[in-house]
Amino acid sequence: MSGPPTKFDPQTVWFVTGCSSGLGKAFAKKVYCAGHRVVATARNVAALSYLPDEPTVLKLSLDVTCGENILSSLTHAVNQFGRIDVVINNAGYGLMGDTEAIEEADARHQLETNFWGPARITQETLKIFREVNPRGQGGTVVQVSSMGGWMTAPGHAFYHASKFALEGFTESIAKEMNPDWNIKFLIIAPGGVRTNFAGSGLKLVPRHPAYESPTSQFSQLIEYITNPASQETWSDPDVCAQLLFDAVTGQKGRPLPTRLLMGAETIPLIKADIQQTLREIDAWSEEAVRCSPKGGAHLDL
């Protein structure tokens, strides 16, 4: 998802969602401390008091499940700064529970927040990158997914659905871009991060009696996630924010990747998942090929 070099300087405008705490807060602080302009959003603007009231800072109330609110926030940002260069779709939360026990309304809200919100923001942002920003400047969309956008754990069915959808959406839309527009995409995939994700950022529904067993994988996962000792081993949000900033601005001297992992545990877990998939492909490859009488046509995507 790389393209021509993009200029980053104090005039760069970053639009960040979900800045009240956690990674969003770390991202907003990093952008501000780097001397760039930041549009920090949260449902409650009072939660953004850690940022000073300065001309380079715009604080907005944003509920990513509201299309009108999304459009008005982006419009306000453009009116204030004349452009948007980087969008970080960070707002989201985790819905955890036995899938049979999760109400449809809760499941739909998970998808509205974690998928449809970023999708709508991305759609509106493309117009700004292409039609408002200086010609050829383009912009970068950063989707905050997780290693749960690639692999799964029990008790997170709708959370995984939202992140898998976001990653598929992003990879597809990236292939639609005219290279002349210089629009780039980055998916970040953190593992555990020391934020309030396991606290106020997590909704745990009451257990379904048929699944509630201390020996089940989900029960063991709940114990791990909610254990303060476990959380001490998770990634530092400020270090994650620095990595994101360096990757987007080209400080690492490498092209922007499709997906950027964050956290030591993400590497072996995702590699193991990929290797398992490869083994299954190989085990059933002859049968797969026989489905195409003439061997199939090669399509380069």
Q: Which whole number is the average pLDDT over 271-292? A: 96
**Taking a C-beta distance cutoff of 8 angstroms, is the pair 197, 22 a contact?**
yes
Rounded Cα distance, 246 and 184, in Å? 15
In a domain, 80, yes or no: yes
In a domain, 60, yes or no: yes
Give 234's pLDDT tier (boundaries 50, 70, 90).
Answer: confident
pLDDT in tens, 37-62: 999 999 999 999 999 999 999 999 99
In a domain, 224, yes or no: no
In a domain, 103, yes or no: yes
Tell me, yes or no, if 163 is annotated catalytic.
yes
Predicted pLDDT of residue 77: 98
Rounded Cα distance, 37 and 27, in Å? 12
Longest Cα–Cα distance of the chain, Å, equals 66
In a domain, 188, yes or no: yes
Tell me, yes or no, if 145 is annotated catalytic.
yes
Catalytic residue among 25, 59, 163, 184: 163
Q: Which whole number is the average pLDDT over 137-142? A: 97
In a domain, 6, yes or no: no
Predicted pLDDT of residue 232: 79
Nearest alpha carbon to residue 196 among 225, 229, 176, 168: 225
Give 2's pLDDT tier (boundaries 50, 70, 90).
Answer: very low
In a domain, 5, yes or no: no
**Taking a C-beta distance cutoff of 8 angstroms, is the pair 62, 73 a contact?**
yes
Give kind and range of the element (H or E) at residue 41.
Answer: strand 37-42
Tell me, yes or no, if 230 is annotated catalytic.
no
Rounded to the nearest integer, the mean pLDDT of the chain is 93
Number of domains in the chain: 1
Catalytic residue among 159, 162, 184, 235: 159
The more confidently predicted of residues 200 and 162 is 162
Q: Which whole number is the average pLDDT over 171-180? A: 98
User: What are 235's strand-pairing partners?
Assistant: 193
Catalytic residue among 73, 145, 146, 235: 145
CATH number (domain holding residue 136): 3.40.50.720
Predicted pLDDT of residue 1: 45
Rounded Cα distance, 123 and 108, in Å? 20
- pLDDT value at 195 more than 90: no
Q: Which whole number is the average pLDDT over 134-160? A: 96
Nearest alpha carbon to residue 80 among 143, 124, 15, 23: 15
Give 12's pLDDT tier (boundaries 50, 70, 90).
Answer: very high
Q: Provide the residue range defining the domain that includes 154.
A: 13-206+235-263
In a domain, 218, yes or no: no
**Taking a C-beta distance cutoff of 8 angstroms, is the pair 122, 165 a contact?**
no
